[in-house]
Structure 1
């Protein structure tokens, strides 16, 4: 059964109006806007058609037309939509599929954590039950200084966060635990250079972990993900292979949360920068 002509026309008008909105979004530049003539020419439609399609967008505050120049730019309604979308995002939900794909790619246990100073808290875990299972549990917490995920987060926090971790104590739990603040600081510098952190038997004597940070829409670090395995499987060579894969997954999750971070942890530059 085909839709009535009126309904088809409304659907077509909606799609064309959204095309105008998307054009302004992509071409309005630094806030000056884009002219009616340019929109009409680039979209190959009449000026009168652009004005007709733009009218409901202006009424909904999705577009603004400058009274003096007649140029169009995005309206406050787009900001409200964006904020509503971002507020609906949940780290665990955004990370679920990337984390599953990461586990499938590397064949090892994968974790997702958030930071509750001075600890990291496990909020998700995906593991291959054919391998040796890790002892971690969702909801458990571990001091950040001796985990790869903790270091991946601390590397992108400020000096005050570092002092909080140090003040909480850096007791050894294995022969490889980092207990010296300056050595930890050097580790965080390395994390910022490579993009990923390593727990080399620092939390459990026979386990190595590789972790990368996750950023939100403000480009602030909000968590980290990791790949963990026994040292017999996670050799130093394997760490170097897995590291970039974990970084890419962290960026995938970050971008789903609205972040503009790149592999080096810096915001992506726009074409006009």
Structure 2
């Protein structure tokens, strides 16, 4: 089968360094006809002004992670940001850089489930293809988790950040809980609030799958690791379910996240 010319670019020479390759790949997103256009200077300005971002306006969250290993200062995030800002219904993004593996990803808010689905089925596969790496994507119903997230001081639902995060944790448990409100969040929230260094949590409910997860902010990388390694496996065992955890370094992505109106930075 011939590859779709619309989504392919010629790879750079093998001797090119990682930074040059990543920049080349990001440039390829605009060149391959995927509609990833850089906004004009006339459209420049704070993202919140362009999107009408409101803390309660999101209807869906998207989680992404590229199977890549690159220090974040080598990721061409400025170029990628300008492209993502043009995507229909995009509200904000918090960039993610994996601790230990230097993976690159993000947690995004969208104004509708349909726009979130379009992002993960159209744009993001093209981004991964241009970098030549596999990917992980998830779509979550943001409306279903409103009450649970507000109770956990979620900045996605209007809470003011109490401090700049030092680390993020992403979790997902292999459970089917629909509707989300019938799940155990009322029992877990008081316990979660006692975890050392936890600043906030946004609850996640998988679209179609009903998986249960969360996106957490911590005051230190040490506390985030303790949560992911010590606390969370016990929570999953209580539920008798397999689980997925990731820890991310927050300071290295702060500038990139601020540029995308991340609610973690006010």
Q: Same fold (TM over 0.5)?
A: no
Greater relative contact order (Cα < 8 A, sep 6+): 2
Structure (1 or 2) with the greater strand fraction: 2
Q: TM-score, normalised by structure 2?
A: 0.29
Q: TM-score, normalised by structure 1?
A: 0.28
Structure (1 or 2) with the greater helix fraction: 1
Larger radius of gyration: 1
